[in-house]
Amino acid sequence: MLEYISPYLRNPDRITGIPTGRKAAECWDLKTYPHSIKLMATLTTNSRTDSKLSKIEGIKERSQFLREPVATELKQDTTHFSEDGVQILKFHGSYQQDNRDNRVKGQEKDYQMMLRTRNPGGFIPPQLYLTLDRLSSTYGNQTLRVTTRQGFQLHGILKRNLKAAIASIVRSMGSTLGACGDLNRNVMAPPAPFKNRPEYDFAWTYANNIADLLAPQSGAYYEIWLDGEKIISAEEAPEVKAAREHNGNGTIVHESPEPIYGDRYMPRKFKSCVTVPGDNSVDLYSQDLALVIITDESGELQGFNILAGGGLARTHNKEETFPRLADEIGYVAKADIYDAVKAIVATQRDYGDRVNRRHARLKYLLDDWGVEKFRSTVEGYFGKSFQPFRALPDFKYEDFLGWHEQGDGKLFLGISVRNGRVCDTEGWKLKTALREITEAFSLPMRLTPHQNILLYEIAPDDRVEIDRILRENGIKLLEEIDPLERLSMACPALPTCGLAITESERVIPDILVRIRKLLDRVGLPKEEFVVRMTGCPNGCARPYMAELGLVGRAPNVYQLWLGADSHQTRLAQLYLDRLNVDDLEAELEPLLVFFKKARHEDERFGDFCHRVGFEALRQFTETYDPASLKPKRKERHRIRIYDSVYERLKAESQRLGKPMLDLASEALEKYLNELSES
């Protein structure tokens, strides 16, 4: 019996390529539609009933393509949205949250909305930045936060101000559409604005185009937030429009307002990036879909290497959930890239688990099927075979902070933002500084995937004044920032994140200071490594790709993950399940002492842990004597003297300000010398 089939297969005439009006039975003609038959067979064996679909599938399906109940509830004079409203609101780029510091038993929660921007490649034009800065002051909690996927978040917006805030963002060439929800999220790309390296420009272009290709099409966004006024920040490329409409082999949902997604959108969030060979500023192995630009010797775009199936989130005590690195799928020529992307999206759309949301990400499809089956299923939708993956240089992580030439005579400046939080605090007024710089020089910015900001298109003559503004507002020069801080990331966690088990952003500054002191104590004062921290196992600050990852386990208790590399090409492993934050030094000290003793020249902490293995780390820790680090006390000799002599010695020591040890030694030496001379 056919128990569960994807919504697209239940109505086969909705699959493009099968002419409407034909009966389903005819449509399953093997010769004409072999791919559909293959899909049908696989899904039949999956045997899932509609009634088992996750609740959110129904909410999406009933939403009239992202309209309800948000449109109705927005007009109501309430402080918050219903449960269904909250789910659909996400697709519009907003999460309903409450300030968890203000929870009082028996009282209504302190509801507030978080807004997230969708800006491929982290691009923020100056007018949008100034709008976000203003909105965070008028409606938000006075801060802006650069996210780990190159977006900005505003926290603390009341429901009644949400419409005005979103409308302002859209009118300033920004968008929040699709920043959250079960669809393609903000597309990442390397933030470095190199003008003399064409591959970087291609990465930006294709990040934009993939974002446009996979953007929701229903029109609900403009109806709800702009009363139907359609403001388009930039015309989408004609080839993107054509590609969206192009039939493919089942990639399109026929006659749907959402030709790529259909009415249930994706089974889960879908994350993608476009990067250039060697540049891993985007953490490419952690993405559902990663495209790597391939150019020829003259810098002409030839095609793309494609990786798929990365993802990090886990759930504690559920071994079936795990972080996973993306696999190499193959290479496609540039003319085929949109069809290839659509084919991967369609595969996840139709085969992704819509019953168990914990198993719904693309990484589980790859893990369950293996690369071969995944590739051949995608090829069915693609209508072509992938070419072999092209050889690539090693991927490296670079943060691009500090001053650089951008390759056309102008400069760019990378500013380190502590946990991405743009705010004004005592002695550190980054929010003021960025506003002053943007107002004075109208500079575009690129947000980095590591919660930092690059300002670019800077005329060399403006450098002195920009430095002055930063200095005046207490922003440290790059060399003054501890590399531990520069490389670290923490997610927001408490008080805004509803899923946080424990603190992250608010405690990481102290944690880093403690690690630095420990490094000094064990004799590694110059050492640096990548520390990432999250308040729960969802992994928003990608702790499973860090040399030292701290993952919220219980209040004040973290898992310790070790062994990833500094370029984020290898996963960390769980070393310790419960580390009480008070025991941080006690747990890390033996590891760092072992590292100091047994490292290879220039070996990094992450590589060391990986090379020696956790068994060796544990063995060393078990036999480690913390006293070995304490300075050895000098040997002391004891002699007994008469009480009367002791009292005189003590009095003389005090009078002369000389230690008794010195005085007694000098006196005895003199006496003994006289004896030996006599």
How far lies 669's CA from each of 31, 595, 656, 661, in Å? 109, 46, 18, 12
Q: Pick between residue 361 and residue 429 the one whose CB is nearest to ligand SRM.
A: 361
Q: Pick between residue 7 and residue 120 the one whose CB is nearest to ligand SRM.
A: 120
Of 14, 35, 116, 604, the one binding ligand SRM (CB under 6 A) is 116
Answer yes or no: are the C-beta atoms of 250 and 17 closer than 8 Å.
yes
Set 60, 90, 159, 185: catalytic member? 185
Angle between helices 55-62 and 83-91 (to 10 degrees): 70
Beta-ladder partners of 328: 307
Among the residue ranges 135-143, 489-497, 515-523, 617-625, the one whose residues contact ligand SRM (CB under 6 A): 489-497
Quick one: what does residue 418 bind among ligand SF4, ligand SRM, none, with the CB cut-off 5 to 8 Å set by partner type? Answer: none
Of 12, 151, 156, 563, the one binding ligand SRM (CB under 6 A) is 151
Quick one: what does residue 534 bind among ligand SRM, ligand SF4, none, with the CB cut-off 5 to 8 Å set by partner type? Answer: ligand SF4
For the CA atoms of 10, 339, 312, 350, the dihedral, rounded to the nearest 10 degrees, stands at: 10
Among the residue ranges 14-22, 308-316, 336-344, 348-356, the one whose residues contact ligand SRM (CB under 6 A): 308-316
At its nearest, how many Å lie between ligand SF4 and the CB of residue 539? 6
The single-letter code of the amino acid at 496 is T
Of 8, 33, 65, 95, the one binding ligand SRM (CB under 6 A) is 95
Quick one: what does residue 14 bind among ligand SRM, ligand SF4, none, with the CB cut-off 5 to 8 Å set by partner type? Answer: none
Quick one: what does residue 496 bind among ligand SRM, ligand SF4, none, with the CB cut-off 5 to 8 Å set by partner type? Answer: ligand SRM
Is residue 386 classed exposed, middle or buried when 0-12, 13-18 and 19+ CB atoms within 10 A define those classes?
A: buried
Beta-sheet strand order (sheet of 489-490):
489-490, 531-534, 548-554, 557-562, 573-580
Q: Is 325 near ligand SRM (CB under 6 A)?
A: no
Of 94, 112, 148, 377, the one binding ligand SRM (CB under 6 A) is 148
Among the residue ranges 25-33, 62-70, 438-446, 536-544, the one whose residues contact ligand SRM (CB under 6 A): 536-544
Of 27, 541, 584, 588, the one binding ligand SRM (CB under 6 A) is 541
Q: Is 312 near ligand SRM (CB under 6 A)?
A: yes
Quick one: what does residue 535 bind among ligand SRM, ligand SF4, none, with the CB cut-off 5 to 8 Å set by partner type? Answer: ligand SF4
Quick one: what does residue 271 bind among ligand SF4, ligand SRM, none, with the CB cut-off 5 to 8 Å set by partner type? Answer: ligand SRM
How far lies 135's CA from each of 82, 114, 125, 179, 219, in Å? 25, 12, 15, 18, 24
Whether the upstream peptide bond of residue 495 has omega within 30° of 0, thus cis, is yes
Largest CA distance in the chain: 128
Of 92, 361, 429, 532, the one binding ligand SRM (CB under 6 A) is 361
Quick one: what does residue 548 bind among ligand SF4, ligand SRM, none, with the CB cut-off 5 to 8 Å set by partner type? Answer: none
Measured at the CA of 361, the angle between CA 278 and CA 610, to 5 degrees, comes to 50
Q: Write out the DSSP string of 588-642.
A: HHHHHHHHHHHPPTT--HHHHHHHHHHHHHHHHHHH--GGGGSPPPPP-------
C-alpha–C-alpha distance, residues 331 and 377, integer Å = 16
Is there a catalytic annotation at residue 540?
yes
Structure tokens at 82: 């219903």
Long-range contacts formed by 596-600: CB under 8 A, 24+ apart:
596/522, 596/523, 596/524
Is there a catalytic annotation at residue 429?
no
Q: Pick between residue 291 and residue 313 the one whose CB is nearest to ligand SF4.
A: 313
Q: Is 311 near ligand SRM (CB under 6 A)?
A: yes
C-alpha–C-alpha distance, residues 239 and 374, integer Å = 27
C-alpha–C-alpha distance, residues 608 and 606, integer Å = 5
Is there a catalytic annotation at residue 271?
yes
The footprint of ligand SF4 (CB under 6 A) covers: 491-493, 497, 499-500, 504, 534-536, 538-540
Q: Is 93 near ligand SRM (CB under 6 A)?
A: no
At its nearest, how many Å lie between ligand SRM and the CB of residue 152? 8
Is there a catalytic annotation at residue 609?
no
At its nearest, how many Å lie between ligand SF4 and the CB of residue 20? 43
3-state secondary structure of 413: strand
Contacts with ligand SRM in 178-207 (CB under 6 A)?
Answer: 179, 185-186
How far lies 435's CA from each of 173, 176, 293, 413, in Å? 18, 21, 34, 15
Is residue 524 classed exposed, middle or buried when 0-12, 13-18 and 19+ CB atoms within 10 A define those classes?
A: middle
Q: Pick between residue 39 and residue 571 the one whose CB is nearest to ligand SRM.
A: 571
C-alpha–C-alpha distance, residues 246 and 258, integer Å = 13
Quick one: what does residue 278 bind among ligand SRM, ligand SF4, none, with the CB cut-off 5 to 8 Å set by partner type? Answer: none
Q: Is 147 near ligand SRM (CB under 6 A)?
A: yes
Set 354, 536, 553, 604: catalytic member? 536
The single residue listed with the structure tokens 């220039």 is 602
Is there a catalytic annotation at residue 23?
no
Is there a catalytic annotation at residue 116?
yes
C-alpha–C-alpha distance, residues 365 and 438, integer Å = 45
C-alpha–C-alpha distance, residues 64 and 339, integer Å = 27
Which stretches of the chain bind ligand SRM, using CB under 6 A?
95, 97, 114, 116, 147-149, 151, 153, 179, 185-186, 269, 271, 283, 286, 311-313, 361, 420, 491-492, 496-499, 538-542
Catalytic residues: 116, 185, 269, 271, 491, 497, 536, 540
